Amino acid sequence: MNLIFLVLGFVIIIKASDMLVSGSVNLAKFLKIPTLVIGLTVIAIATGVPEIAISISSSLKGSNGLLLGNLLGSNLFNILFILGLIALIRPLYIKKEIILKNYVFALLSCIVLLVVASDAIFLDNKINLITRTEGILLLLFAFIFSYSTVLDATLNKKAKIETSKFSFKDILYIVFGIILIALSAEVIVNSCVNISKYLGVSEDLIGLTIIAVGTNLPELVTSIVAVKKGESDIAIGNLVGTNIYNIFLILGLSSTINPITISTNAYIDIIILTITSFIVYIFIRHKKDINKIEGITMILLYIIYIVYVVVR
């Protein structure tokens, strides 16, 4: 029954995310927000709502392993598997400096997370903990990133702007999308906790694998569709923006609600995320593109990581 509820939860949350993204994008276009900003902020936040709902639910239940596994696994899935996969479909050319700048912000988010999670090193504590104060700090970074992105796009006169009508249907999509996502997130978290207990495995393993992949299906579909339409900026912007908001917004919000204890395995995952993010930055910075060979390399790195997680 838990497996059935888990599958149903994912089906509902993916459909609800699609509704929310559709309504949110139409609203953004109606407000004449540039396409790049839509990718970096609106779509990134909208497709990240499943992670927000699951993380808050996990935080309230005290399931830190599930919470961190979901967010860290999501970021690694985005930056290695999805980005690598769409590079195989079509080489990704970084056409705007703003993308490169925001990827640097994504690197910064990993470094900040590593610092706030290193209490045992910097504060000589026995455990690593993300406190409420540090959670508020992460939220502040989320605000700075959002403001910087909108400001850059506003100053960029070449920014592509699409317009669209905003209807009552879009309002319904946004409202019901949020409600359905919240309800299905509760079902997914409860099912995963029960499954992890039944199988005798850790919650972070479930979070890093099943939940991370399941909640990132919206990002996967959105990015592939965007690349096939020649909108590589939206695809990369969506993934980079999602990774930034996962750490600064979602983890910040979750730790503000309830301080988060960082296990040894989670701390290692944070280090791995930081290193892999830097590797992808080298790929992007070198020729301002990601070719098929680099895409294959990224997918192989993700497979190696998953094998490591399962074995440990």
Sign of CA dihedral 82, 27, 188, 245: positive
- The pLDDT, as a whole number, for residue 94 is 67
In whole angstroms, give the CA distance from residue 181 to residue 13. 5
Report, as ranges of residue numbers, the positions in the chain whose pLDDT lies below 70. Answer: 33-50, 94-100, 153-164, 218, 222, 229-234, 286-288
- The pLDDT, as a whole number, for residue 135 is 92
Output the domain CATH number for residue 128: 1.20.1420.30
Q: How many CB atoms are located within 10 Å of the residue 273 CB?
A: 24
In whole angstroms, give the CA distance from residue 193 to residue 171. 33
Instruction: For the chain, state the CA radius of gyration.
Output: 18
- The pLDDT, as a whole number, for residue 274 is 94
- The pLDDT, as a whole number, for residue 160 is 58
- The pLDDT, as a whole number, for residue 179 is 80
- The pLDDT, as a whole number, for residue 276 is 93
- Number of folded domains that form the chain: 1
Q: How far is residue 150 CA from its own chain's centroid?
A: 19
Q: How many CB atoms are located within 10 Å of the residue 163 CB?
A: 8
In whole angstroms, give the CA distance from residue 181 to residue 176. 8
Sign of CA dihedral 75, 77, 79, 83: negative
pLDDT in tens, 246-284: 899 889 988 898 888 888 888 999 999 999 999 888 887
Give me the domain span that covers residue 70.
2-311
In whole angstroms, give the CA distance from residue 175 to residue 186. 17
In whole angstroms, give the CA distance from residue 221 to residue 242. 14
pLDDT in tens, 42-92: 666 666 666 777 777 777 777 777 778 888 888 999 889 988 888 888 777
Question: Please, are residues 199 and 60 in contact by the beta-carbon 8 Å criterion?
Answer: no
Q: What is the pTM of this model?
A: 0.78
- At position 122, the amino acid (one-letter code) is F
Furthest CA-CA distance within the chain = 56
